[in-house]
Structure formats: structure tokens, C-alpha cells
Amino acid sequence: MSTAQRTEPASGPPPVSGPAPGTGRPLALRLVARPEVGVFLGALAVMVFFLVAAPTLRQGDSMATVLYQCSTIGLMALPVALLMIGGEFDLSSGVAVITSALTASMLSYQLTVNVWTGVLVSLVLSLAIGAFNGWMVVRTGLPSFLVTLGTFLILQGVNLAVTKLVTGNVATDDISDMDGFGQAKAVFASSVGIGGVQVKITVFYWLAFAALATWVLLRTKYGNWIFAVGGSKESARAVGVRVDFTKITLFMLVSFGAWFVGMHNLFAFNTVQSGEGVGQELIYIAAAVIGGCLLTGGSGSAIGPVFGAFMFGMVNQGIVFAGWNPDWFKAFLGVMLLGAVLINLWVQRTATRR
């Protein structure tokens, strides 16, 4: 399934401020020099490794389990990557997922309304949080790292305090017997049977959004703006790019992603724990960085984070499928990710060597 991703339009290189591929070199080398190809090879290496190490992983439904975890990371890694290309960070993305799920759940339950009302209100609230982040960043000129660190802490506290205030508990009430729940579950958290294997719907959304984001980045004016504001704000402004608009909408894109994943969490599990989501933001950022987005902005792709999230999910689940000693789980995870990133780096170095 990931090989199908290779046929993405890689033509028309975006204005990347990375290593400019030499013109007189063979196409294969020029292709390999692109960061997303390096990460693709890294992901492939990890996958082959675990397919050899873990026999139970070779079944189709095991792969569906791996892809499910990848998709819930990947859905957020995409907008986070776009934001990073645009030169900004969002540390509040992990808890924002839970904020949106809590909002939809509690609003529907407390007012006893159709769950779609909660879903829509929570979308509005999520976008407002994103807009606030973006507005604070462009207005104050503070690093987004600091602004969103503040938002992260605020949301973490608000998630807990408001849930406790409204429900009297630290988790929301079960809304699975309310009107509209079945429809919403079908949209956000159902499974699709493919050749006898149940694949979660988030996997399809993930790939569809990735294709859309790739098209936006490579084929639209807005995509050029993203690269431009991440590369150099002043030059971008000088040539007429709407810098503030671009940055604010990128933050809103991240909060849209948070809303989407939040809705999946809610309709897949019926209730939401208010303390969840902390620490996820780093996983999203990691997936984007593994996928070739620079921490400094201005460079990256939408397809890279897909492989980044795939690599992360693959290692995560692969260790379990391989049945290794769980005490070492986190250490294995770190070593595997470093290894994969080093492969990626080595591929690029070799490819760009004169």
C-alpha cells in the first residue's frame, strides 16, 4: 500500500531551499536526493526488517492494525508538517485533540442534543483555538514555540477543570446511545472491509488528506506561500505574499486536524478521558521531522510525514509483534527511529555527492 504512494507527482520541484540537485546527473540520483524518497527507503527498511523478525505481522489484518496506529499519528503529522514548512511550531496539538473530543461529547450530553451539534460546535471552537494561536504569533512576533507552549498548558488545565466542573468526573459520559451517534461513528470511526481484512476508515482519510496536501503544496499559490513564509518572511512579504493570512490559516489547519482526530477518538471509544493527549504533540512533530521537514522551516513535503508516521507506527507495533522484552520498548523505539533517520541521511548524502 505504501508503494502505491510512490507514484505521487514528483515533477515540478517546489522552491526548496535544500540541496539543489545538479542538473547533469542521472534521474535516479536526483530522485533519491529528495528527502521524502530517503524517508521512504527508511520506512521500507523498517518494514522489511519487522516482516522478517515477526511472522505474525505477515497477515493482512496485522498490517491493518499497524496502519491504524500510523493513520491516527499521520492525520495530525500532515498539518503539523505544513505548519513547520511555514516556519512555525504547535505544541498544543496533542491536547487540542482531546479538547475537541471533550467539547463535542459534553455539549451533546449536557444539552441532550443530537451529537452532530456537538461535532459542529467543537469544530468551531477548535478553529478558534487555531486562529488564536496564529493571531498571537503574528501579532506579538513571539516564537510560536512559546505561544503554543502557553496554549498547551492552558488547554491541559482547561480539559481537566472543565470536565470535572461539568460532569463531576475526570471523564465524559457515554454518548453512544444518543441520536446521530451511529452516523457520526460511520463517518469518523468505522471500518471498511477490503479482501476480508477490516481496515479502519482513518487510514483512507489519512491517505486522501496526504494527496490533497501534496497537491496544495506543489500546484497552488497557497502552497508556494507556505514555502515562502517558512523560508523568509520579509522577502515573502516584499513579493506580495500574505504572510499573516498564511500563518494563521496554517495554525487553523492544525486545529482542524486536531478536531478530526478528536472526533475519531470520541466515536471510536464513546467516552473521553480528560488527561489524555499530553506528549502526543512531540510524536506528531517527530513524524514530520523524520519525514524531512526542517526544524527551521521552508523545506519539507506532505508525503514525507506520511512515511514518517508510517515508520513510527511500524516500529511501535513491530516491537510488539516481534514479542521483544517490553521493558526495553522505549529504548528499542528510539534506536530504531535513529537508525531509520540515519539511513535516510546516508541515502541523501550519497545521492547528492558530487
Partner 1 sequence: MDRSSRSRSRRLAPVVAVAAAAALTLAGCSSGSGGKKAAEGGSGAPAGKADTPRMTVALVTHQSPGDTFWDIVRKGAEAAAAKDNVKLVYSADPSAGTQANLVQNAVDQKVDGIALTLAKPGAMKDVIAKADAAKIPVLGLNSGLSDWKKLGLLQFFGQDESVAGEALGKKLNEVGAKKIVCVIHEQGNVGLTQRCDGVRKTFSGKTETLYVNGTDRPSVQSTITAKLKQDSSLDHVVTLGAPFALTAVQSVADAGGKAEVATFDLNKDLTGAIKKGTIEFAVDQQPYLQGYLAVDSLWLYKNNGNYSGGGEQPVLTGPAFVDKSNVDRVAEFAAKGTR
Cβ-contact 226, 236 below 8 angstroms: no
Nearest distance in Å: CB 243, partner 1: 9
Nearest distance in Å: CB 145, partner 1: 21
Residue closer to partner 1, measured from CB, 218 or 337: 337
How far apart CA 37 and CA 277 sit, in angstroms, is: 30
199 backbone dihedrals φ, ψ, rounded to 5°: -105, 130
Q: Is 174 in the site for partner 1 (CB under 8 A)?
A: yes
Q: Is 68 in the site for partner 1 (CB under 8 A)?
A: yes
Applying the rule CB under 8 A, the residues between 213 and 242 that interact with partner 1 are none
Residue closer to partner 1, measured from CB, 161 or 338: 161
With CB under 8 A as the contact rule, which of the stretches 15-23, 166-174, 212-220, 285-293 interacts with partner 1?
166-174
Show contacts of 289-295: CB within 8 Å, 24+ apart.
289/84, 290/39, 290/42, 290/337, 290/340, 290/341, 290/344, 291/35, 291/36, 291/39, 291/77, 291/81, 292/35, 292/36, 292/38, 292/39, 292/344, 293/81, 293/84, 293/85, 294/18, 294/84, 295/84
Site string for partner 1, 251-270 (x = CB under 8 A): -------------xx--xxx
Q: Is 54 in the site for partner 1 (CB under 8 A)?
A: yes
Cβ-contact 272, 105 below 8 angstroms: yes
With CB under 8 A as the contact rule, which of the stretches 120-128, 145-153, 205-213, 225-233 interacts with partner 1?
120-128
Half-sphere exposure of 163 (CA within 13 A, CB side): 25
Nearest distance in Å: CB 80, partner 1: 15
Q: Is 323 in the site for partner 1 (CB under 8 A)?
A: yes
With CB under 8 A as the contact rule, which of the stretches 3-11, 32-40, 127-135, 287-295 interacts with partner 1?
127-135
Cβ-contact 281, 91 below 8 angstroms: yes
1: Cβ contacts below 8 Å, ≥ 6 apart: 63, 67
Residue closer to partner 1, measured from CB, 153 or 345: 153
What number of other Cβ atoms are within 10 A of residue 350's Cβ?
Answer: 12
Residue closer to partner 1, measured from CB, 11 or 177: 177
DSSP string, 237-290: HHTT--HHHHHHHHHHHHHHHHHHHHHHHHHHHSS-BTTTTTTHHHHHHHHHHH
199: which DSSP letter? Answer: E
Nearest distance in Å: CB 78, partner 1: 16
Q: Is 49 in the site for partner 1 (CB under 8 A)?
A: no
Applying the rule CB under 8 A, the residues between 3 and 42 that interact with partner 1 are none
Nearest distance in Å: CB 147, partner 1: 16
What does the block give as the cell for 119? 461535532
With CB under 8 A as the contact rule, which of the stretches 11-19, 144-152, 216-224, 310-318 interacts with partner 1?
310-318
Q: Is 53 in the site for partner 1 (CB under 8 A)?
A: no
Q: Is 141 in the site for partner 1 (CB under 8 A)?
A: no
Cβ-contact 196, 60 below 8 angstroms: yes
Nearest distance in Å: CB 159, partner 1: 8
Q: Is 197 in the site for partner 1 (CB under 8 A)?
A: no
Q: Is 158 in the site for partner 1 (CB under 8 A)?
A: no
Nearest distance in Å: CB 326, partner 1: 5
Residue closer to partner 1, measured from CB, 115 or 294: 115
